[in-house]
Amino acid sequence: MEEILTLVTLNSFDAFQCDLKSLSPLHSDGNVIIAALFSLVNYYFMDIYDSRCEDEKAIEFKWRSYQFSLAFIFAIEEINRNTHILPNTSLGFELYNVINNHLDILQETLLFLTGMRINIPNYTCRRETKPAALLTGTSWETSIQIGRLLNLYKYPQITFGRFDTILSDRGQFSSLYQTAQRDIFLSHGIVILMVHFSWTWVGLVLIDDHNAAEILSNLRGEMDRNRVCVAFVEMIPFNWMNSDFKSRTMHPQILKSSANVVIIYDVTKSLYALIIYISIHSIAWKVWIIKSQWDVTTHVPYFIFDPFHGSLIFAQHHAEISDFRKFIQTYKPSKYPGDHILALLWNTYFNCSFSGPDCKILVNCLPNASLEMLPGNALEMDMSEESYNVYNSVYAVAHSLHEMTVEQVEIHHHSNGALNTYPWEVHPYLKNIHFKNGAEELMVLDSQRKFDAVYDIFNLWNFPDGLRQKIKVGTFSPNSPPGQELFLSDHMIQWGIRFAEVPRSVCSESCVPGFRKSPQEGKAACCYDCTRCPDNEISNETDMDHCVRCPESQYVNTEQNNCLQKAVTFLSYEDPLGKALTYLALGFSALTAGVLGIFVKYHHTPIVKANNQALSYILLITLIFCFLCPLLFIGHPNTATCILQQYTFAVLFTVAHSTVLAKTVTVVLAFKISMPGRLIRWIMISRATNLIIPVCTLIQLVLCGIWLSTSPPFIDSDAYTEHGHIIILCNKGSTLAFHSVLAYLCSMALGSYTMAYLSRNLPDTFNEAKFISFSMLVFFSVWVTFLPVYHSTKGKITVAMEVFSILASSAGLLGCIFVPKCHIILFRPHRNVLHHVRHKGHFKGKVNFAA
């Protein structure tokens, strides 16, 4: 990772004379040396700022890298105080400052190998012990350049930057080890954060390097699995430098995208130009999700409206090193006179007297001055993620040397425990080392045995005067149970000025319950329209892809977001329609009973005796039960009532129609036969016509028996006819059997009508032929009308139509046959005498009316 930090102009002559490149590296003596290469400062002539000041010089302090050097020295001193690690050995160090260019990196590496301030390849001029290992970082590019050189000499190299798969190639870099943990689950953690805040429309900004394809593939895979869509992908060229940024055209996607959340993955110097542009132009006040390698708290210029305020930062979790802050507070030029950069800081910020050529502090320093007092919180007091890796790298080397020392003592018992080895002999121990650092955390260097990283989530707060602070607001633990990986204190998060509440970043607004998502053609899955659910379907959650059909026992509410239980209903006695039909049935049955009473009372009169008095009684009694038959259709159906409905109706109407048929046959035999023979006379005297009733009824019973044995009526339900209700009704079972019963009844009605038609011209005083004809016409009209209505209606209306048809056809028989007779009996008694009948007769022969 490349860094750009605070530029400070050196106006004093003494400071101008301080040439860090010409001085020896910061070092400390010891039995064993550990070396490190850090990019701490740069300095150059400032003629670009003021053409009149040719001798003006500026120094570039890299605060984050400077903390690496402090962590490096802190770890060395902590190990030297620990009697359990290398007890008879003191660790020393050499710390080299490199400028981030290929020439300087290689030059400093060669200086490290030779041990002098001149480059002599393939030679070492060190009189004392060689350094056991070299620490490098944080850029993978820097580590590769150094690694290829050190690999020639099998010199141990430990990098403390982000874990990189290209550096774990043992074929190319057999002497290189990485301290950082792998970021295998970082993409998963970022997407889980998106899901937590319901951010489904996010942008990606990546460096177009060798890792870009893998990072993009991992992020897209996690997003697809969690239904998060990529609004745009901005690939920044790896060599996109700050110096020529102004000459480049800003990619419009970041500016114009509707995504309020943008992921900046792996910030490098190439992205720093973009970061400055964002800061200067305050781009759209977005929420930035940033990986921790970039020190956003100090590297970005301060603006009143900070576009990075409210950003969320992922950093690998590490234990707190409590003594590190105390170490920084006591790290002063008086204690570490060899740190020339520290002397420059004291001269720059605390106005101490300065010796130019040797870069040392003289006098006039504040007694309580410390790095903690630097303006703007320039130096972070807590150990950063990379500084923690530096700390662990030193411990890894120390533990490896300790293991090697113990092994040497076991082999050579006379040894005093002092190390006498070559650097390449440390490799087996570095590869297999696993140890606990000063914070009691277990560490390994082998890339195949590394633990999955746990991440801390920080929220960037911008305080007045540009004092940015990172506040820990949560953690991501990939090894936790599903659904518990992310812990976040939402109430602690401060969002950007634009957002008064949790920001929303969606392509389309959520579809509320009652609607479903309808994809927009040619766009991402997160872009959709909201469509109302079809009839009898609901969506009871937000952003449902499909609506769900309610069960048959439930129905959809008005908002179509819930299924309600349907009420069970049927043609009940409490129902207005059921109540009306009940009253009609009881009324007609009572009226029929009244007619029967009249006939019984006036049984001696000719009009009652005419056309077979017994058949009239049978017909009236049958009609009473026909009128009561509809009561079986009203009320809660059960198996018994379902069967009785159809069979009772069939048998009763068969009896009624066979009785009518018998009466018409009697009339024809009485009036049409002019010369009756013995057979006809026997039929008339013995009343053999009454046999029509049992014979016809027996045939109907056979039909009903077949119906009952093959497909009898049963209880059924109708959940669709009436909204919100389940109608309980009787299913006919076999529609063929039902229509066969109706056809049989119609055939008997047709026979009665035919016989009545043949006797239409007979004397009409007591002749029922015309009345029977009219009653059969009524029957035909009712049931012919019933069939199409029956097949076109559903639910309770179908039941009501059948009940009404039964009542109407029964009323037709009662009204057409018996009402005229009652009228004569009650209101025209003078016509109900035999003398009147004889004077009205128009026939030959003698007729027995009592027959």
**How high is the pLDDT of residue 252?**
66
Task: Tell me what pLDDT residue 19 has.
Answer: 59
Is there a contact between 246 and 270 (Cβ–Cβ < 8 Å)? Answer: no
**In the predicted model, is pLDDT for residue 55 greater than 60?**
no
* Paired tokens of 799: 């039941």
Distances (CA, A) of 144 to 136, 138, 139, 355, 391: 10, 11, 9, 38, 21
pLDDT at 243: 41
Cα distance between residue 439 and residue 383, in whole Å: 12
Backbone angles phi, psi at 576, to 5 degrees: -55, -40
Place of tokens 């099998």: 154
Question: Could you count the other beta carbons within 10 Å of the beta carbon of residue 590?
Answer: 12
Lowest mean pLDDT among 281-285, 491-495, 509-513: 281-285
- In the chain, the amino acid numbered 102 is H
> Of the given ranges (44-48, 233-237, 781-785), which has the lowest mean pLDDT?
44-48
Q: pLDDT at residue 24 above 70?
A: no
Helix boundaries (H) for 302-361: 322-329, 340-350
Segment 432-438 shows an average pLDDT of 85
The residue ranking higher by pLDDT, 342 or 590, is 590
Bridge partners of 59? 8, 43
- Read off the pLDDT of each residue in 90-114 and give the average, rounded to a whole number: 79
The larger pLDDT score, comparing residue 836 to residue 646, is at 646
Residue 284: the pLDDT is: 53
* 837 Cβ contact list (under 8 Å, min separation 6): 606, 763, 765, 766, 849
Region 489-515: mean pLDDT is 89
453-462, 579-588, 676-685: which has the highest mean pLDDT? Answer: 579-588
Of all residues in the chain, the percent with pLDDT exceeding 70 is 79
Tell me the average pLDDT across 453-480. 84
Residue 659 clears pLDDT 70, i.e. is over it: yes
Model confidence at 157, in pLDDT bands (50, 70, 90)? very high
Token pair for 127:
């009189």
pLDDT classification of 347: cutoffs 50, 70, 90: confident
In this prediction, residues 795-815 reach a mean pLDDT of: 90
Predicted confidence band of residue 48 (pLDDT cuts 50, 70, 90): very low
Q: What is the mean pLDDT of residues 150-177?
A: 88
Alpha-carbon dihedral sign for residues 697, 699, 702, 704: negative
Nearest-angstrom CA–CA distance, 815 and 822: 10
Please tell me the predicted confidence (pLDDT) of residue 177. 92
The arithmetic mean of pLDDT across residues 39-47, rounded, is 59
Per-residue model confidence (pLDDT) at position 692: 84
| 46 vs 254, higher pLDDT | 254
Can you tell me the mean pLDDT for 666-676? Answer: 61
Beta partners for 159?
136, 178
3-state helix, strand, coil in the chain (%, to 5): 45, 15, 40
- The pLDDT assigned to 808 comes to 92
More confident residue, 13 or 683: 683
Residue 131 pLDDT > 70, yes or no? yes
pLDDT reported for residue 584: 93
| Beta-bridge mates of residue 315 | 456
What is the per-residue burial (b if ≥16 Cβ within 10 Å, else e) of 116-148? eeeeeeeeeeeeebbbbbbbbbbbbbbbbbbbe
Of 150-164, 382-396, 597-611, the poorest mean pLDDT is in: 597-611
Q: What is the pTM of this model?
A: 0.68
Calculate the average pLDDT of the chain. 80
